[in-house]
């Protein structure tokens, strides 16, 4: 989990030499063909259809439905010249950075560190709470947060007496959904870091302690450098997960008010299904794919550097 | 039950102009068996069961009259916009397509262009009851090819509903009848000042309310300025319209001055249900710009029975902006029963459709849903005219009513209207800026050459 290279993978050229006739290879591959065929039909098929649809005016109703035409890059041009699209890209980045890169990542690490140092009872309690949030279905989590933050929700019941009550989903929508996503997704980072921290040899930490390193210095100069690869891997995974979050935001705000929490997945859904513009919607899906790709490349570079 | 956006007399005048109409006419009676059930798809949402009860009765009557045949009800549990989407997804494939569908005329032309429906003319020629439908209603589901694709089951008009008790408390007449937009605003300010805790007015605005925002909200204002969204003779959409800004300004005023519900309530997807089941019966909302079917919620068959509704609630026509023209304005729409292209057995599907719109069934449906009748025999029936004290009022608005553009681009333009309203309500944009963004969006949808300042 902490590393991306496969342990024991053959590296030397001599290991790659064929040790058996080609016929055996084919015979061995034969049992795989149903699986491959299924993958092609049900996974590659829809993806290819998506790519195709992104270049057409496919729609659920109206002209694009009866008479589908190839429109070249028109969908992409329309997207890149649209304010609503630009707004969604910005919100998607805000949501991803706030809730995944900062929120889930930092909190996950903090919880993992806390668990390492605390007694068994605390460890179990924290584990159950955090993982509980992770196990709850996305839509249920969204509804819980809706109930908590809504105008007559739990939070306002508590702080309303101090005059601080307000409709959080209306005043701070993107912050509200980011918070909910941190709450829901932190368990994943925590588990990843738990695994990584347990692999740091105790002697190294003890040695650092002997040398007089304080807690903060130990974390900065010993722990983090030792789990750096895990940090990057974790960041990559949670970023990709967060980019595609839909159910949580849809349940909490439906992308509103206005378009103040309309991230790319919600914008895509709206265009494809509320306005029936499947072609345009799939084009946005491809853009989202590209955004994920860019993030991945950045993280891969970071990984390669060390 | 939340029923809105009816567009019946819609075909008004002869030729319905459609932007595009590449609809194949070939009536496809493809089906083979005489045994298969006829699947009827309709929208089921909220707590009302008017449509469900009505269809259940029709189902047993149909099955009794045609032994061996069955009618299968397929409720699509979805809010307004989701209903259209789910229905369209179902109609795309012969395997999932229902045989008979409940279509809003708002989208029927779009779905005809998409090739989901088949024309009913061959059946209508042999159906003697078709003469009972008012001529204007017959055009409701007529496509550009001149063929009819749906049988309307009722229409509606829109006006101001107001709580007489609250208005009298604010020192206004129980026979309140505003003459201009300013009269409405003045009354709202009185209510706000004199009856604390009461929201003066609700005008649907924003994307959460969907088509209700466009039709009950914006268009009731905009068409009252004498302007129009679309000129079908010139085939041009209206952009750069100062009246568009005026209408948005009205919305801004009621929200800025807190005469309307708090934006966080107004922009919630539940606003429609809350207005009819909570705010109006609860006496926390004084004036509501809404449809003729509103009282169906308060009948014994509705989602929120309210015995005193007719004593408490009054109705006034929506005035035009400065009282010019006829002085009042309304919008109309309608729903139709249509047959899908993939219907398994066209003859049986037609039997179902004609049963659904027969005199007796239509009469009961119009009474239970408080709809304005489209059948002459229903409109003249004493049980209908006596069924609801507001029928006369809402029928009287038919002469001043307007219809939405019958154009396949309208659904997307309508969405842009909602976006513009929401931008104003949330303070994201001024009315002028929101109107400018609307203009650009419309140009993008219909093409710049199809726009003009009308």
Query: pLDDT tier at B27 (50, 70, 90 boundaries)?
Result: very low
- pLDDT score of B30: 39
Other C-beta atoms within 10 Å of B36: how many? 16
pLDDT tens digit sequence for B269-280: 778 989 999 999
Amino acid A16: pLDDT:
55
Judged against a pLDDT cut of 60, whether residue B121 lies above it is answered with yes
Compute the average pLDDT of residues B59-79: 91
Secondary structure (H, E, C), A95-142? HHHHHHHHHHHHHHHHHHHHHHHCCHHHHHHHHHHHHHHHHCCHHHHH
Residue at B1 is within a domain: no
Residues on chain B bordering chain A, Cβ-to-Cβ distance under 8 angstroms: 19-20, 22-24, 81-82, 84-85, 88-89, 92, 107, 110-111, 113-116, 206-208, 262-265, 267, 269, 408-409, 411-412, 415, 419, 422-423, 426, 428, 437, 444
Question: Does the pLDDT value for residue B346 go beyond 90?
Answer: yes
Structure tokens at A237: 């995974």
Asked if B415 and A274 come within 8 Å (Cβ–Cβ), the reply is yes
* Cβ atoms of B430 and B424 closer than 8 Å: yes
Do B345 and B34 contact (CB within 8 A), yes or no? yes
Contacts of B258 (CB under 8 A, 6+ apart): B192
Question: Is B86 inside any structural domain?
Answer: yes
Same domain, B376 and B416: no
Same domain, yes or no, for B97 and B21?
yes
Q: Report angle CA B56, B80, B211 to the nearest 5 degrees.
A: 135
The pLDDT score that the predictor gives to residue B36 is 76
* Yes or no, beta carbons of A61 and B116 under 8 Å apart: yes
Structure confidence at residue B323 (pLDDT): 94
Contact: A61, B428; criterion CB under 8 Å: no
Whole-angstrom distance, CA of residue B43 vs CA of residue B62: 20
CA distance B412 to A275: 6
Do B168 and B317 lie in a common domain?
yes
SS3 of B142, please? strand
**What are B441-447's contacts with CB under 8 Å, separation 24+?**
B441/B416, B442/B237, B442/B239, B442/B413, B442/B416, B443/B239, B444/A78, B444/A82, B445/B409, B445/B412, B445/B413, B445/B416, B446/B19, B446/B237, B446/B409, B446/B413
Average confidence (pLDDT) over B166-191: 96
- Domains in chain B, number: 2
Percent of chain B with pLDDT over 90: 63
| Contact state of B20 with A276 under an 8 Å Cβ cutoff | no
Token pair 């909200």 is found at B217
The predicted complex's ipTM stands at 0.73
Reported as type and span, the H/E element at residue A91 is: helix A83-96
Whether residues B176 and B265 fall in one domain: yes
Residues in A closer than 8 angstroms to B422, CB to CB, are 256-258
Task: Please report the pLDDT score of residue B28 as a whole number.
Answer: 39
Residue recorded with tokens 């063929």: B147
pLDDT tens digits along B250-305: 999 999 999 999 998 898 877 898 999 999 999 999 999 999 989 989 988 788 99
Same domain for B49 and B190: no
- Read out DSSP for A287-304? HHHHHHHHHHHHHHHHHH
Enter the tokens of residue B100: 């008979």
The token pair that represents B55 in the structure block: 């269809």
Handedness of CA A193, A194, A200, A205 (dihedral sign): positive
**Whose structure tokens read 């084919």?**
A26
Interface test with A, best of B207, B208, B450 (most A CBs within 10 A): B207
Alpha carbon distances (Å) from A94 to A236, A238, A260: 16, 14, 11
Q: List the B38-44 sheet strands across, edge first.
A: B71-77, B38-44, B100-104, B334-339, B150-155
Alpha helices, DSSP H, located in B157-218:
164-169, 181-194, 211-212
Read off the pLDDT of each residue in B325-349 and give the average, rounded to a whole number. 93
Residue B13 has pLDDT above 50, yes or no: no
Residue B19's pLDDT is what? 32
Tell me the three state secondary structure of residue B416.
Answer: helix
| Bridge partners, residue B335, by sequence | B104
Which residues of chain B does A258 touch, with a Cβ-Cβ cutoff of 8 Å?
206-207, 267, 419, 422-423, 426, 428
Pair (B283, B395) in one structural domain: no
Find the helix or strand (DSSP H, E) in which B43 lies: strand B38-44
Residue B86 has phi, psi (to 5 degrees) of -65, -40
For the stretch B29-38, pLDDT in tens is: 334 444 579 9
CA distances from A216 to A113, A165, A195, A222, B78 (A): 12, 37, 21, 10, 54
Residue B22: its chain A contacts at CB < 8 A? 63, 66-67
Q: Classify residue B428 by burial, with Cβ atoms within 10 Å: 0-12, 13-18, 19+.
A: middle
Q: What's the pLDDT score for residue A19?
A: 63
pTM (2 d.p.): 0.78
Q: Do B269 and A254 touch (CB under 8 A)?
A: yes
pLDDT tens digits in sequence order for chain A, 306 residues long:
444 444 444 454 445 555 667 777 788 888 888 999 999 999 899 889 999 999 999 888 877 777 788 999 999 998 998 888 999 999 999 999 999 999 999 999 999 998 888 888 988 888 898 889 889 999 999 999 999 988 778 888 888 888 777 888 888 899 999 999 999 999 999 999 999 999 888 888 888 888 888 888 888 888 888 898 999 999 999 999 999 999 999 999 888 787 889 999 999 998 888 888 899 999 999 999 999 999 999 998 988 875
Q: What is the Cα–Cα distance from A36 to A202, expressed in whole angstroms?
A: 46
Q: Is residue B164 part of a domain?
A: yes
Q: Is A14 an 8 Å CB contact of chain B? A: no
**Does B117 fall in a domain?**
yes
Task: Judge if B228 and B257 occupy the same domain.
Answer: yes
Residues A65, B114: C-beta atoms closer than 8 Å? yes
Distance between B416 CA and the closest CA of chain A, angstroms: 11
Q: Which pLDDT does position A306 carry in this prediction? A: 58
Nearest CA in chain A to B91: A60
- Give residue A265's pLDDT: 96
Per the CB < 8 Å rule, is B92 touching A258? Answer: no
Cβ(B206)–Cβ(B213) below 8 Å: yes
**A149 to chain B, closest Cα gap in Å:** 12
Examine the domain organization and report whether B226 and B245 are in the same domain: yes
Kindly state whether residues B395 and B419 are assigned to the same domain: no
What is the Cα gyration radius of chain A?
A: 24
Contact B452, A286 (CB under 8 A): no
Q: Is the bond into A257 cis (omega within 30 degrees of 0)? A: yes
CA gap B98, B337 in Å, rounded? 12
Residue B167 to residues B200, B257, B287: CA-CA distances in angstroms? 9, 18, 9
Residue B129 lies in a domain: yes
**Residue B126 lies inside a defined structural domain of this protein:** yes
Sheet holding B158-163: strands in order across? B199-202, B285-291, B158-163, B313-316
Residues B365 and B255 occupy one common structural domain: no
Q: Which residues of A touch B81 (CB under 8 A)?
A: 274
Q: Tell me: pLDDT of B363 over 90.
A: yes
Q: From chain B, pick out residues whose CB is under 8 angstroms from the CB of A260.
A: 426, 428
E strand segments, A148-256: none
B237 and B163, same structural domain?
A: yes
DSSP three-state, residue A193: helix
Cα B30 from chain centroid (whole Å): 33
Instruction: Among B368, B386, B403, identify where a domain stops.
Output: B403
Q: B34 is in which domain, residue-wise?
A: 6-156+333-403
Task: Tell me the CATH number at B83.
Answer: 3.40.190.10
Question: Cβ distance B403 to B12 under 8 Å?
Answer: yes
Please check whether residue A47 touches B, CB under 8 A. Answer: no
Which run of H or E residues covers position A245?
A: none
For residues A247-262, one letter each, b for 16 or more C-beta atoms within 10 angstroms of the residue's C-beta and e for the rest, the string is ebbbbbbbbbbbbbbb
Q: Are B73 and B42 a contacting pair, CB within 8 Å? A: yes
**How many angstroms from the chain centroid is the CA of residue A222?**
28
Nearest CB to A61 within list B24, B88, B207: B88
pLDDT averaged over every residue in chain B:
87
A273 CB within 8 Å of a chain B CB = yes
- Same domain, yes or no, for B170 and B295? yes
Encoding tokens for residue A294? 């860019």
Query: What structural domains and CATH numbers belong to chain A?
Result: 48-81+276-305 (no CATH), 90-272 (1.10.3720.10)
CA nearest neighbour of A129 among A187, A89, A177: A187
């Amino acid at each position: 989990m902490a590393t991306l290279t496969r342990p024991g993978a053959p590296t030397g050229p001599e290991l790659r030499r064929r040790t058996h006739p080609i016929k055996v290879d084919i015979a061995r591959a034969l049992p795989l063909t149903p699986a491959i065929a299924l993958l092609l039909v049900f996974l590659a098929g829809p993806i290819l259809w998506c790519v195709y649809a992104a270049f057409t005016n496919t729609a659920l109703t109206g002209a694009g439905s009866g008479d589908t035409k190839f429109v070249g890059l028109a969908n992409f041009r329309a997207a890149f010249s649209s304010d609503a699209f630009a707004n969604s890209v910005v919100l998607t980045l805000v949501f991803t950075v706030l809730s995944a890169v900062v929120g889930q990542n930092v909190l996950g690490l903090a919880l993992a560190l806390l668990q390492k140092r605390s007694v068994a009872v605390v460890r179990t309690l924290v584990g159950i709470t955090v993982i509980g949030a992770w196990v709850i279905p996305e839509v249920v989590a969204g509804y819980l947060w809706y109930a908590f933050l809504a105008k007559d929700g739990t939070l306002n019941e508590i702080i309303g007496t101090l005059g601080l009550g307000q409709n959080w989903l209306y005043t701070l929508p993107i912050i509200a959904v980011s918070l909910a996503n941190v709450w829901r997704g932190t368990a994943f980072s925590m588990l990843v870091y738990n695994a990584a921290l347990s692999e740091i040899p105790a002697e190294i930490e003890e040695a650092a302690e002997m040398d007089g390193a304080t807690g903060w210095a130990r974390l900065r100069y010993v722990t983090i450098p030792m789990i750096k690869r895990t940090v990057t891997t974790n960041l990559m995974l949670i970023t990709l997960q967060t980019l595609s979050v839909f159910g949580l935001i849809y349940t909490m705000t439906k992308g509103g008010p206005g378009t103040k929490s309309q991230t790319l997945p919600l914008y895509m859904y709206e265009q494809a299904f509320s306005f029936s513009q499947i072609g345009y919607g799939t084009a946005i899906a491809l853009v989202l794919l590209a955004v994920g790709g860019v993030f991945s490349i950045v993280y891969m570079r970071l990984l390669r550097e060390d | 039950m939340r029923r809105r956006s009816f567009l019946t007399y819609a075909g008004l005048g002869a030729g319905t102009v459609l932007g595009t109409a590449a609809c194949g006419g070939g009536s496809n009676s493809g089906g083979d068996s005489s045994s298969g059930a006829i699947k009827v798809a309709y929208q089921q949402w909220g707590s009302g069961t008017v449509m469900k009860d009505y269809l259940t009765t029709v189902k047993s009557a149909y099955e009794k009259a045609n032994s061996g045949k069955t009618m299968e009800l397929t409720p699509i549990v979805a809010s307004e916009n989701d209903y259209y989407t789910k229905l369209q997804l179902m109609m795309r494939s012969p395997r999932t397509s229902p045989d008979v569908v409940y279509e809003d005329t708002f989208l029927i032309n779009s779905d005809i262009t998409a090739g989901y429906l088949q024309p009913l003319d061959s059946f209508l020629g042999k159906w003697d009851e078709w003469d009972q439908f008012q001529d204007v209603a017959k055009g409701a589901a007529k496509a550009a090819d001149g063929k009819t694709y749906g049988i309307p089951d009722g229409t509606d008009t829109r006006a101001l509903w107001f709580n007489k008790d609250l208005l009298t408390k604010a020192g206004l007449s129980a026979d309140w009848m505003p003459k201009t937009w300013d009269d409405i605003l003045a009354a709202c300010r009185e209510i706000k000042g004199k009856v604390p805790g009461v929201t003066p007015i609700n005008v649907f605005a924003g994307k959460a309310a969907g088509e209700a925002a466009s039709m009950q909200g914006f268009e009731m204002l905009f068409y009252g300025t004498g302007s129009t969204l679309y000129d079908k003779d010139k085939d041009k959409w209206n952009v750069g319209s100062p009246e568009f800004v005026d209408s948005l300004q009205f919305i801004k005023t009621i929200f800025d001055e807190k005469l309307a519900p708090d934006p966080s309530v107004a922009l919630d997807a539940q606003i429609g249900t809350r207005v009819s089941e909570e705010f109006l019966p609860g006496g926390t909302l004084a004036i509501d710009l809404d449809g003729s079917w509103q009282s169906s919620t308060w009948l014994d068959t509705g989602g929120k029975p309210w015995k005193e509704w007719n004593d408490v609630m009054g109705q006034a026509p929506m005035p035009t902006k400065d009282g010019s023209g006829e002085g009042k304005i309304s919008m109309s729409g309608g729903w139709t029963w249509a047959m899908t292209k993939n219907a398994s057995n066209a003859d049986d599907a037609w039997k179902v459709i004609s049963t659904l719109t027969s005199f007796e069934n239509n009469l009961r449906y119009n009474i239970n849903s408080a709809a304005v009748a489209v059948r002459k025999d229903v409109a003249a029936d004493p049980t209908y005219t006596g069924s609801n004290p507001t029928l006369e009022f809402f029928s009287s608005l038919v002469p001043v009513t307007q219809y939405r553009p019958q154009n396949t681009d309208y659904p997307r333009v309508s969405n842009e209207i909602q976006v513009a309203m929401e931008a104003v309500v949330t303070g994201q944009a001024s009315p002028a800026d929101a109107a400018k963004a609307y203009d650009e969006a419309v140009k993008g949808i219909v093409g710049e050459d199809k726009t003009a300042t009308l």
